[in-house]
Each structure stands twice: as C-alpha cells, then as structure tokens.
Homo-oligomer: A and B are copies of this chain.
C-alpha cells in the first residue's frame, strides 16, 4: 500500500472502531470522531506524532491532547491502532470500571489530562508546550485536536494569544471544522477564512485544508513542523459523520451511536486491523535547574507581616531549595508577591497576564511534565478559572494555587476584589487542600508543604499585615491547628485575618470572667477534627469567625467535623451583607467579624 492509501485505510479503521465502541456502549460521539479520523490517521501513521511505544512516560514523547474530548471514540481508536490498548478493551468504552471513560482522563496512559469541558485542551497544551521550551528544553511537540464549536470559548483565544506571545512553534492546533455543533451550525460554519484571519491576527501560522484529503493533511503537518517562531493551526474543513451517508453532515446526529452500526461499518469498508508503529521520539535530556540551597524564611514572633509577602519570600526560597518549582501569575505579581520568585528565578517564572483560565491551564500543563507549579492571582479572580480547577481534579493534577486579597479586610477596593466565596469553592474541589494561614511563619511552612502535596492545594493570603504568633521553630502541618489561648467557656475558631481579632476578643472576655480558647484553624481542609472535637467537649459554646460568606467556609468545615458528635451551640460569624469600600477595620467591624463582634457573640452564648 502507498502511504496515502494506508492513511485512508487507517482513517476508515478509526471510523469503524469509533462506530463499534459507541455501539457497544450505547452512547458516545461517533460522528464527532468520524470528522477527524483522517487527521489523526495521518498524524500517527505519517511519522508526525512521536511516542516511545515501550515507554509512554518517556519525557521526550510528543503530547496529543484531544481538546474536543467528546471525540473519545476516535481517541481510543487511535490508542488501539498504536497498540496502547487491545480490541476487547476498546469495547469496554463507557462501561463501569473501564479506563475508557466517556471523555478521556489520565486513567488511560498516555493521556495527560482530562478533557470534555470544551476549550480547555488547547490552553493546557500551551502549558505543556511552554514546559517543553522553557523548562524541559526537549524537542517534543504538542498536538492538539480542537472542535470548531469550542472556538467560541474565550479560553481558546487566551491560548492563541499566549502561544504566539511565547513563540511556541512546538505547538500545533488542529481544528476539526465539521461546522455542526450539538443543535445547529456554529457561528462560523465552514468559513475557514474567518478562522484563519483570527488565528493570524493572534500571531499564528495558519493553514487551511480539506480535512479528508490525506495528502493535504500530510503537507500541512510538514509545514507545521517546519514553521519556526510561532505556533501553527491547521484549519481543516471536515464533515461530521464522514463516510456514512445516514449521518454525514446531517444535523441531529450529535452525541449518539449510529442507528444501524452494522450497515455503517459495511459502508466504511468493514473492520480492519491495521497496526501503526508510531515514530520514536527525538532523543534529548530533560533540563534540570540548579539549586542554591538555603532555608525557608522566618519571622520573629510579634512582627507584623502580610501573609502575601510571606508567600512570595517563601516561594522564592523554595525555588532555591528545589529546581522543580515554577511560578505563574496573572499580572498582579507585585500584589501577590510572586514577583519575589520572578526576581530570583526569572527562567522559571511565567507571566500569564490578565488571563486566569490560561494561568491555571498552563500550570496543569506544566505538572503533566512533572514540574511543581504555583499559580497566583487575587483569590477573587481564581473564580474565573473555576471550571479549569474542577477539571484539574479530574486530571488528577498536582496543582498549587495562591489567592491573595481575601475578604473584606482588603478595604477600599470594594467587593469585586474581595474573595468571599473562595474557601467554599475550593473545599468543593475533589481531593483539595484549603489553607488559610494567619501569619508569615505558617505561610512559609505551608508553601513548602504544598510542593509535596498531591491534588489541588489552595493557599489564601491576606493583603494586610498580621501579627506573627507562630514561633519560627514550631512545626506547622497540613491538617493541624494552633491553640492561642486556654479556656473552656467558649471556643473561638478563627483563620487568617480573624485570628488577631479572636485573640483581642479573648482578652476582652477575661473581664467578663469568660475564658475563651482561641484556635487558629489555618488548615480548613483537612480541618483539625481532633482540636474541634476537643473544643466541643470542653466548651459551652463555639464561635467560628471568618472573612468569607457564611456558606461553605470555616464554619461549615467545623460543623462537618462535629456532624456526628454531641456539641454545644456553634455560632458562625461571617460576612452576611454585601460590603462596600472602607478601611479594613471599618469593614471587619461592619461585618461583625472583628473583636467587638466576636466578644459580643461569645457573651450572648456563654455570658452569665
């Protein structure tokens, strides 16, 4: 067989296998797979995709991201053709316990990340490509298959901008322009010139082709590989359901198996069993950053330091200790203090500008390659990337995020800049860790612990200065807490900015002969359940106090720890009305979460 004949046969095999697996599953997206089958056939069989078939984790391997994750039947058919899975496993598609889920996840190597929420694969591919150029310094390429419907996601254009800005000529995006979305034609349809104009305006090299012409596909891949200084996008005109007349370019055929699979397979020329020997990766050695050693920073008890400042100093120090730590920031590095890392380790710092989705996606991409990313912006603006964080959990990503400027205590900037739902949002991420240190020494130790933490860790830092209560030699651990005062009348469980307020309240309560046990719950998830349960046993009431809405924050974490236990009344102090501008003190007082509010609540609960 000639190359082109083999490409065509392989394309038909990928279609047949997509139809077969979806038919066996009784669900799935075969038509969205069939449109891109020729594109993938040429990629794997034409020597463009480079994988070490004996070592799917070889650092030199190329990366293949299906940004259109619903084309999973095609993806799994590619894995079968390349020998990663066998035919019986292909037919477990979408079955309980199978690694072949409805949308790809890293459960099935070499899959890097979960896709299926559209518009995320390409920004993650940008992160991997950034790692290839600036961190690994290996010649691998990143190939990303996009659907045309997802080109409507803004995150795609964040990716386009960052890929061009970073001159990522190791990245190739392939847009499968089959024109039909779930219910109707896309806004652009088959007007490939419009995609080209957009891509070029964002700085990419763009190639328009017929996505079913295997020679044109091969020529486009050749051109992409040869293009330097900028990424390439291949804009491929295709037909959804290509090859089966009953569904080809037909509306209403999205996301369902073919009605007559047997006839479709026959129309496609029947089953085939072609095996592809994927090209070997180019040899290379992964770059290692030298380390300078040193220690984490520490501060004296009683000093006034903002935890965001401690974050920056700790991260910079961690970069001296570890060569695998990298940092990304959303153009607020002088606020989050990630700038301290940038100044110390410029080659491991990534400016992501005002593009929080791309920020998180790039971090996800870098951890794919084993790097230890810390991403930072205002905690409020991490909400912009919440879907990316949700998906990162499904990707089993180890990701560290730092959100600064938490709560009303930021003061004059007003509620748009105040994170007041961030603890709730991050607690509800599967497998997450949620940390909110009250002082600089805690922060430094927690930053270090996050580097070794699995899953998604969130560190919430403060704009204003707080008193260092934690001694530099006191061990701070994820899941722990600190008790600041003794007492068994009332427990005051605080975190972050409210710890100083709680301590002040405890001092005032002594005058009422109320002895308060102040607990600094710097680890909100996991919460120190033992300390909470002890407080519930010993005290007549518990007050929780947080600079956050009442729902889903520290108070709810405490209640969860007490759910199955006898406990005294738990009174949650939190922000209950929409704040405006003002000084931090005015706003904390207005929300009833300052020392006055805490004292008053404690008196109401246990006053005699």
Contacts and interface: CB of A to CB of B under 8 A. Distances in A.
A182 B334 contact: yes
Interface string A412-447: 111111001100110111110000000000000000
A95 B580 CA distance: 9
B156 A154 contact: yes
A530 to B, nearest CB: 18
Contacts of A552: 424, 427-428, 551-552, 556
Contact of A417 (B116, B149, B182, B525): B116
Contact of A103 (B69, B201, B417): B417
A461 interface: no
A590 B96 contact: yes
A186 B353 contact: yes
Contacts of A553: 428
Contact of A331 (B117, B182, B428, B580): B182
A190 interface: no
A351 interface: yes
Nearest to A424: B428
Contacts of A94: 412, 414, 581-582
A107 interface: yes
Interface string A551-571: 111011001101111000111
A570 B563 contact: yes
Given A154-B156, A355-B153, A582 B412 contact: no
Contacts of A118: 354
Contact of A424 (B116, B152, B425): B425
B331 A115 contact: no
Nearest to A107: B580
Interface stretch (A47-55, A218-226, A382-390, A504-512): A382-390
A249 interface: no
B181 A95 contact: no
A460 interface: no
Contact of A182 (B115, B182, B332, B578): B332
Interface in A139-197: 149-150, 152-158, 161, 165, 181-184, 186-187, 194, 197
A407 interface: no
Contacts of A331: 149, 152, 181-184
A414 B105 contact: yes
21 contacts: A97-B582, A98-B581, A102-B417, A103-B413, A117-B381, A149-B353, A153-B154, A153-B384, A154-B155, A186-B353, A198-B201, A356-B387, A421-B430, A424-B427, A424-B551, A424-B552, A427-B552, A428-B551, A428-B552, A430-B549, A551-B552
Those 7 A-B pairs whose CB atoms lie nearest each other, nearest first:
A154-B154, A116-B416, A96-B582, A424-B428, A102-B414, A197-B201, A421-B428
Given A102-B416, A152-B331, 5 more contacts: A96-B583, A101-B580, A183-B332, A383-B386, A559-B560
